Structure 1
Amino acid sequence: MNAPPRTRLRAPVAAALTVVLAGGLSGCGAFGGEDVLTVYSGRNENLVGPILEQLEDAVGTEVEVRYAGSSDLAAQLLEEGESTDADLFFSQDAGALGALAKAGRLAELPQDVLSLVPEQYADDEGRWVATSARARVVAYDPRQAPEAAEMTSVDEVLDERYRGLIGVAPTNASFQSFVTALRLDRGEDGAREWLERLVDLDVQKYDNNIAVLDAVDSGEVALGLINHYYWYERVAEQGEDNVNAEIRFLDSDDPGALINVAGVGVIAGSEQEDAAQRAVEFLLSEEAQQYFADSTAEYPVVEGITSTEHDLEPLGQGSSVDLNDLDSLEETLDLLDEVGLT
């Protein structure tokens, strides 16, 4: 069994959580109160705040949300154990959900909920389910790296011509999941070699995918590794003619083409289990799936929903890595520490 993630919080995240707890949650009452559905959200408030605001009507009870990074919230949930106030974990990626599932911290979901999504978008033992999907892509500046339009593997990023011109967000859960996929695909030594080469090329580190895309768009770097939807959102906001950066979907058998998911799980032992399950059902409803397709430019996981706002490239099969195997956060974080990326 893979080891669960660290139970320590990194200083910036711990400080952020302290601020959230001290200042309240978007005007809500005391955290974890009676008849309150408490959600730990590793998804950014700017992305999912509007749909989570509709949860109260959907589940019929007050809802309070704590926002922070997915891996750090997973670590916090492990640290809190059965004393946690959380009822629902909404994760940016499958890895954090997998770690909690293997630690026995997620309850099994009803089969009628699991059956709403394709088999590959749910935990093998039914402890979490995907709510939306996203593809890893290479964002590139066509003025500096026009050849990126033909890239087929993430290995092509590691060219000497891009020294000092590659941007990543190593503390972001989506990059960490990519590294996990790299480890699963190539083994520990192969992943370490790839990351060491990246560091040797004077990789530029940013706080998040948005900052990476900003750097590519401005020409600060030539290439960046991001999730696809950040580019589609930028185009929707500014118009494609006003966005310099472009994106490249890699070949489906490459770890750089990982299709990861955001997903949700009910915390084992929750006193609000019924409300939490209704929340899961809402996030898989036509209304919520259309929101993800239109407002966040992600791929719906329920059949029959397509975006009316974004011309999304058809989603291929992606990397052959099983999402249920993306739970080894401890090993990934140790490797990132080892090569100097955190």
Structure 2
Amino acid sequence: MTPITRLVGLAASTTLVLGLAACSVEEEAPAGSATEDATVDETADDTTETSDDAAGTGDASSPAPAAAEGDGTLVLYSGRNEELVQPVLDAFTDETGIEVEVRYGDTAAMAAQLLEEGDNSPAEVFLAQDAGALGAVAREGLLGELPAETLDLVPDTYESAQGDWVGLTGRSRVLVYNKEAVSEDELPGTVAELNEPAWTGRVGIAPTNASFQSFVTALRVLEGDDAAAQWLDGLAANDPQVRERNGMIVADVDAGAIDAGLVNHYYLYELADEQGVPAEDLNAALHFFPAGDAGALVNISGIGLVGEQADAEGQALVDYLLSEAGQTYFVEETHEYPMIEGVGTPAGLPALDELETPEIDLNDLDDLQRTIEMITEAGLL
């Protein structure tokens, strides 16, 4: 069975792979950032919300850029949104003189393209929004080993065990809740509690999002497929409030349309930026699950060098994104956690090492297709 066949998504109408490719939409470009323009409008109706995995200038069928050969350019396949990452790529070019030819698409589509192209891919660098996609590409031997000095910058928890990808930013799963609708003593200690009758019809989820799918994959790893399937069935039976995107959930929680929702932490800050108010002035607030619950998963956006094509210019990009300047950009513009020492935590958030995260190896989150199947079998897709 070929890698592409093994990773084919569930929707018959699409050729995207990695399971989630058929339906996944990840984080929106941060409102209020230096890159915000008329295409980024994450208001309560989210009618023009730009997806980190859906927006961009390219798609899985667009022509690939020409391969760079140490000529002052490099080819990047980016699964992160153009409005989100292009400014930091421009800063890299200004700093180094290296031009970056970017092919944008959702992370799954970019991973699928790499698997299809194999050793013939023009890509030199793969920037992904989650560890699972990086792991799936690395498993097929398409990512080259990173130097020890790069790996030493990032905690072992947030990099490949084989040294072929490394985390750039951290994002914690949380429960966002409306402070008027949910008292602090009602906040759940585990995601399992959200299936209890007290939460019927009150919890927003975005099952088409890669972040939700990665969380379910983590639940499978931590508790087994049977337990994960039972949780999904219980969630489906508890009348969840389904939304397409995390940003929609946070906006609806803040507006009082939903009491709570499962999202990544930084969406609250995007909404605050959009509204031009401090996050603490919103009606919505964040609850970090305690005691290592699966609901407290910290995933990463990350980067890897693509096989034999990788050269010094690709490594220079990795170095820049893991530099103080690159990491500060992500902290200030996307409110994600930095991966290196010396760069502060985004304002208003607990430090990354203070979070009570589950004991899980992010290298184990690469089986996304079965996760998609289980979410579908539960009737959530």
Judge same fold: TM > 0.5, yes or no.
yes
Aligned to 2:375: 336
Query: What is the aligned partner in structure 2 of residue 258 from structure 1?
Result: 297
CA contact (8 A) 2:178 2:260 kept: yes
1:32 aligned partner: 66
Question: Does residue 341 of structure 2 align to residue 303 of structure 1?
Answer: yes
Determine if contact 1:137/1:226 at 8 Å carries over to the other structure.
yes
Query: How far does residue 318 in structure 1 lie from its aligned partner after superposition?
Result: 0.8
Distance 1:181 1:22 in 2: 27
CA distance in 2, matches of 1:128, 1:311: 29
Worse overlay, 207-216 or 177-186: 207-216
Match of 2:44 in 1: none
Contact 1:69 1:173 in 2 (8 A): no
Matches of 2:338 and 2:105 in 1, distance apart?
A: 23
Q: In structure 2, do the counterparts of structure 1 residues 52 and 208 end up closer, same or farther at CA, with 3 Å as the change threshold? A: farther
**Alignment partner of 1:287: what SS?**
helix
The corresponding residue for 2:108 is 71
Instruction: Decide whether aligned partners of structure 1 residues 139 and 300 sit closer, same or farther in structure 2, where only a CA change above 3 A counts.
Output: same
Taking structure 2 as the reference length, the TM-score comes to 0.80
Paired with 1:139 and 1:17, the residues of 2 have a C-alpha distance of 25
Q: What is the deviation of 1:250?
A: 0.6
Check the 8 A contact 1:99/1:327 in 2, yes or no. Answer: yes
Asked if 1 retains the 8 angstrom alpha-carbon contact of 2:57 and 2:105, the reply is no
**1:173 alignment partner in structure 2:** 210
Matches within 5 A, 1:215-230: 215-230=252-267
Indicate how the Cα distance of structure 1 residues 298 and 142 shifts in structure 2: closer, same or farther if over 3 A, else same.
Answer: same
Aligned residue number for residue 294 of structure 1: 332
SS for the counterpart of 1:234 is helix
Q: Name the aligned partner's letter for residue 306 of structure 1.
A: G
State the partner residue of 2:51: none
- Off by >6 Å, runs of 4+ in structure 1: 16-19, 22-25
Output the aligned Cα RMSD.
Answer: 2.7
Structure 1, 77-86 or 123-132: larger mean CA deviation: 77-86
| Cα offset, 1:233, TM superposition | 3.2
Change (3 A) 1:106 1:180: same
Question: 2:281 matched to 1:279?
Answer: no
Residue 240 of structure 2 corresponds to which residue in structure 1? 203
Aligned residue for 2:118?
A: 81
Q: Would the aligned equivalents of 1:71 and 1:173 in 2 still touch at CA under 8 Å?
A: no
Q: Is the 8 A contact 1:165 1:220 kept in 2?
A: no
Match of 2:286 in 1: 247
The alignment covers a number of residue pairs equal to: 333
Question: 1: CA distance between counterparts of 2:67 and 2:137?
Answer: 23
Partner AA of 1:302 in structure 2 = I
User: 2:55, 2:330 → 1: CA distance?
Assistant: 26
Give the SS at the match of 1:253: coil
Task: Give how far 1:40 is off.
Answer: 1.8
Distance between the aligned counterparts of 1:168 and 1:134, measured in 2? 17
Describe the SS at the equivalent of 1:108: coil
How far did 1:165 drift? 2.5
- Give the structure-1-normalised TM-score: 0.88
Deviation at 1:185, TM superposition (A): 1.1
Gaps of 5+ in 2: 10-14, 25-53
Structure 1 residue ranges without an equivalent (≥5): none
Counterpart of 2:342, as a letter, is G
Change (3 A) 1:317 1:324: farther
Tell me, yes or no, if the aligned pair for 2:200 and 2:240 is still in contact at 8 Å: yes
Partner of 2:207, secondary structure, is coil
Question: Is 1:323 the equivalent of 2:362?
Answer: yes
**Taking every aligned residue pair, what percent have the same amino acid on both sides?**
42
CA contact (8 A) 1:40 1:88 kept: yes
Larger relative helix fraction: 1
Give the Cα separation in 1 of the matches to 2:207 and 2:270.
Answer: 22
